[in-house]
Chains A and B, each alone.
Chain A
């Protein structure tokens, strides 16, 4: 009897842990949606900040985040896919392969501010790209690379070996078998994983703070060499650096809502991509 009571209380405790986590998540989402929803309007999404950022919207920050994420994608998506193809299709269990895998796991644990420092030295100074969309995008690209490699490799692993062997048995070369029998089945999973990685990159602040994000910029960047506004950095400014923080608090909430919607929207898009491509293949 006593053991039953202990079990009951124990399971109750575990359940409380779960409810606590769910409550925090709900509190976060509820607070942002309620207070951010208050300032949401067409104007907020399509106009630049005005009057020392106490009025207006976040349009330049949306565009900036979009641009920088595009550059991130250009670097991290193909490289991640190619590296995954090497690791899963070509690499044998050698010491070098183990070293590559170890490097990937460690890269994904490197703090984002350290990527920021690396970007300042490599892209801003050595390559002389200056503080720009390009420098920030490439920095985020390196940050995203380990995630896209891992996600792409997971997708390649789900393709059965018999697909590869079938092609090879018919006289196809290695590359032919990969191209015709592996990639068509792995690409949906690869895309899903990489979009998830890009969503995380789009929400990063520390790597872009010193490589290209601007405090305030009324005009949109015209080239890759220009500075830009970005949603995460804009939120940081509105929350801590503005001269009248309490007055702009609603705008900060609005920025947080747009950022969350963007990141979670990309997450959902990834799931939709996977679903669509799977269904198309079946038909």
Chain B
């Protein structure tokens, strides 16, 4: 009788162990999905891009500024203009967003009353919550006419407009991560500086910001990654001219905007179609590298904190 009981118990234990293992396996499958999706994106983009290079010379693709796939004489597939446009708009955005974002972050961490901070942080979150298509729309109706008026242009849909909008969109990222890293600077650093007679301003500029620099750099790079990959705002606000960009008042077409404009009209399985996926692949690789670099900087910084 007691033998039977032990037997039943052992059996139960075994069954529950099997069940536990099955549950763990189930969660593991879900956990590994992220890796599968990331590799899937890369793999499928690569797979769909390759046929483009049966007709296009890779050197021409990356090095030529002329993009004219529908030309009846000779189709041209150079993405250099778009790549330069993307970086022009992105760098313009960073020039605006980094000082302002760092300023707000410093104000929140070092100057503002904690109550102000509690109010401002969710407000900045709201800014992050505005869909990009709405930001693009406001670029058309607010910043476009304003830029045209101030600089005496016929219209305001140009690289500067795109930069302003991307700056606004990357501000929440830059503010929140910079603020976190400024707040994470050990209190002792600030106290030592103040104890030596430095003002709070000197402490902020010469001690806290340098100490938080890697976090701030990571914040800027993450903001940059977002700006490079942003589609709707630049598509709507930069004018989309295909020429090589020569200045911030020029109408430009970024990589993302070009995909968005042409993918809807291109016939499937043509060189043009594959070339658009190749642009997507280039975009994926660039943002991947920027995000990886930001990640490495951020990890290093967090390790040092611990």
Task: Give A contacts to B, CB under 8 Å.
Answer: 3-4, 6-7, 10-11, 13-18, 20-22, 24-25, 27-28, 31-32, 79, 82-83, 85-87, 89-91, 99-100, 102-107, 109-118, 120-122, 142, 145-146, 149, 173-175, 199-200, 202-206, 209-210, 232-233, 235-236, 239-240, 249, 252, 256, 259-260, 263-264, 267
Contacts and interface: CB of A to CB of B under 8 A. Distances in A.
Contacts of B127: 21, 24-25
B243 interface: no
25 contacts: A3-B199, A14-B104, A18-B108, A21-B124, A25-B123, A28-B130, A28-B134, A31-B138, A82-B26, A82-B31, A83-B30, A86-B27, A100-B32, A103-B35, A110-B38, A111-B229, A114-B284, A117-B45, A121-B44, A173-B19, A174-B20, A232-B134, A260-B134, A263-B130, A264-B126
Contact of A91 (B31, B38, B134, B291): B31
Contacts of A210: 263-264
Contacts of A16: 103
Interface stretch (B61-69, B76-84, B230-238): B230-238
Cβ-closest 5 pairs across A and B? A111-B229, A203-B131, A17-B103, A86-B31, A82-B30
A25 B37 CA distance: 35
A106 B38 contact: yes
B33 A83 contact: yes
Nearest to A245: B140
Contact of A3 (B35, B101, B111, B202): B202
Contacts of B231: 111-113, 205-206
Contacts of A174: 20, 23-24
Interface string B136-158: 11101110000000000000000
Nearest to A7: B201
A14 to B, nearest CB: 4
B229 A15 contact: no
A86 B133 contact: no
B199 A117 contact: no
Nearest to B100: A17
A109 B33 contact: no
A3 B132 CA distance: 43
A6 to B, nearest CB: 6
Contacts of A15: 107, 111
A173 B20 contact: yes
A17 B34 contact: no
B16 A173 contact: yes
A22 B31 contact: no
Given A79-B30, A122-B44, A263-B129, 17 more contacts: A6-B201, A17-B100, A18-B103, A21-B127, A21-B171, A25-B127, A31-B138, A31-B142, A83-B31, A107-B34, A111-B287, A114-B280, A114-B283, A121-B48, A175-B20, A209-B260, A209-B264
B104 A17 contact: yes
Interface of B: 16, 19-20, 23-24, 26-28, 30-35, 37-38, 40-41, 44-45, 48, 99-101, 103-104, 106-108, 111-112, 120, 123-127, 129-138, 140-142, 168, 171, 175, 199-202, 204-205, 222, 225-226, 228-232, 235-236, 256, 259-260, 263-264, 276-277, 280, 283-284, 287-288, 290-292, 295
Nearest to B273: A120
Given A18-B103, A145-B37, A105 B295 contact: yes
A264 B130 CA distance: 8
Nearest to A17: B103
B141 A31 contact: yes
Contacts of B107: 11, 14-15, 17-18
Given A100-B32, A146-B34, A240 B236 contact: yes
A10 B260 contact: no
A25 B276 CA distance: 35
Contact of B229 (A113, A118, A200): A113
Contacts of B135: 28
Nearest to B164: A24
Nearest to A257: B134
Nearest to A240: B236
Of the listed residues B134, B200, B204, the one surrounded by the most CB atoms of chain A closer than 10 A to its CB is B134
A216 B13 CA distance: 60
Nearest to B35: A103
